[in-house]
Amino acid sequence: MAVSRHRDAVAPVRTSGPVSTWFGRHVSTSVASLKKLVAAPFSSFMIVGVIGVTLALPAALHLLVANALSISGGWEDALDFSVFLADDLDLPAAERLAALIGQRADVGEVTLISAEQALAEFREQSGFGAALDQLGDNPLPHTLVVRPAAVNTPETMAVLRQELESLPETAAVQVDTDWVARFHAILDVIDQGIGIGAALLGLAIVVIIGNTIRLDVENRRDEIEVTKLIGASDGFVRRPFLWSGLWLGLFGGMLAVGLVSWGLVLLEAPMARLAGLYHGNVDLVWLSLGEAGLVIGFGATLGLIGSWTAAARHMRAIEPG
């Protein structure tokens, strides 16, 4: 006799694979850990706030250096050579000399400022117009503003200056690049210091989260002993603590990005005034999506490291009696 299957018969349920089971356990544990943090908002916010401020410090300094470099990048006129010509050199001769210097491969641009133009500009900017009218002769010489080509190196810049000074038509050559070089050197030192400071602050975050997890482990000592007594592994018991540290670091990183962005909004007007003093335009450098993700990921990673270190260390000391 043939056996027929009833149409209402329920098919056997297939159990999930190990990957699905592992994923499902982590999802449920992460949600439970998040709810636990939300249940204690004040303490959680205090820890997240400390982490956020700690991460925001190196990120803010990095952006400060980046914005300073961005503003100073518009000070290329500080690299120009001011070639003051001899007093007895007439304007046509100065024009021929400017055309001759402009043909050099190491020169990008040459601008001739006649003595009359220089005197008019000085009269307008100095406010001594009435006093200057008393002068019989114009004391200012013709001036060439020589902008070196972009391909120049410090060595070729020095050679260019020497050759301009050796010209018979030249009375003096003035260039003020030393302060720009010092400024960039200072920024390089600060940038290196930011990296060292970020590493030290990262270690501080690991200690903060590790201490938080240690206290949480001690507060749940009885629960851990009972869980181990019924056969739970250290990995199973450790999992909620790892997620707590991960959440704290993640939220701390997000807070850091928000603090840095808010700080840039406050600095936008002062930096615009600073750029205006140097006749430049301000275009603030903000955290890119990659940099923001790096800060948040860095915080989450530090949270995971801190929680793992504390949980693994103290978990071995807790065994059911």
Residue 109 and residue 167 in one domain: yes
pLDDT reading at 52 higher than 50: yes
- Residue 23: inside a domain: no
pLDDT at 2: 46
Rounded CA-CA distance 110/230 in Å is 86
pLDDT at 267: 82
Q: Which of 111-120, 175-184, 212-221, 230-239 is least confident?
A: 175-184
Residue 89 and residue 218 in one domain: no
pLDDT above 90 covers a percentage of the chain that reads 42
Q: Which residues pair with 83 in a beta bridge?
A: 144, 173
- Residue 223: inside a domain: yes
pLDDT at 111: 92
Residue 58 and residue 99 in one domain: no
pLDDT at 228: 82
Using the 3D structure, point to which of 151, 174, 197 is the last residue of a domain.
Answer: 174
The strands making up 107-113's β-sheet, listed across from edge to edge, are 107-113, 143-148, 81-85, 170-174
CATH number for the domain that contains residue 153 = 3.30.70.3040
Residue 40 and residue 141 in one domain: no
**Which is higher by pLDDT, 132 or 174?**
174
Residue 235 and residue 94 in one domain: no
Q: Which residues touch 51 (CB under 8 Å, ≥6 apart)?
A: 205, 208, 209, 248, 249, 251, 252, 253, 255, 256, 299, 302, 303
Q: Which of 83-87, 155-159, 196-200 is least confident?
A: 155-159
- Predicted confidence (pLDDT) per residue in 172-199, tens digit: 988 766 666 777 778 788 888 888 999 9
Residue 188 and residue 249 in one domain: yes
Residue 198 and residue 65 in one domain: yes
pLDDT reading at 36 higher than 70: yes
Residue 130 and residue 261 in one domain: no
pLDDT at 41: 92
Residue 68 and residue 87 in one domain: no
**pLDDT confidence bin for 167, thresholds 50/70/90:** very high
**pLDDT confidence bin for 5, thresholds 50/70/90:** very low
The arithmetic mean of pLDDT across residues 226-250, rounded, is 89
**Which is higher by pLDDT, 180 or 117?**
117
pLDDT at 132: 59
pLDDT at 285: 82
Rounded CA-CA distance 97/87 in Å is 14
pLDDT at 133: 61
- Residue 10: inside a domain: no
Residue 156 and residue 191 in one domain: no
- Residue 12: inside a domain: no
Residue 196 and residue 310 in one domain: yes
Residue 316: alpha-carbon gap to chain centroid = 41
pLDDT reading at 8 higher than 70: no
- Residue 303: inside a domain: yes
- The total number of structural domains in the chain stands at 2
pLDDT at 226: 85
- Residue 18: inside a domain: no
Using the 3D structure, point to which of 174, 199, 217 is the last residue of a domain.
Answer: 174
**Cα pseudo-dihedral 185, 187, 189, 192, rounded to 10:** -140
For residue 113, what is the enclosing H or E element? strand 107-113
pLDDT reading at 33 higher than 80: yes
Full-model pTM: 0.65
**Which is higher by pLDDT, 121 or 225?**
225
One-letter amino acid for residue 210 of the chain: G
The arithmetic mean of pLDDT across residues 229-242, rounded, is 86
Residue 56 and residue 199 in one domain: yes
**pLDDT confidence bin for 271, thresholds 50/70/90:** confident
Given the structure tokens 């050099």, which residue do they identify? Answer: 104
Q: Which residues touch 221 (CB under 8 Å, ≥6 apart)?
A: 318
Using the 3D structure, point to which of 145, 174, 203 is the last residue of a domain.
Answer: 174
DSSP symbol at 3: -
pLDDT at 187: 78
- Residue 7: inside a domain: no
- Residue 4: inside a domain: no
Domain hosting residue 114, numbered range: 81-174
pLDDT at 7: 43
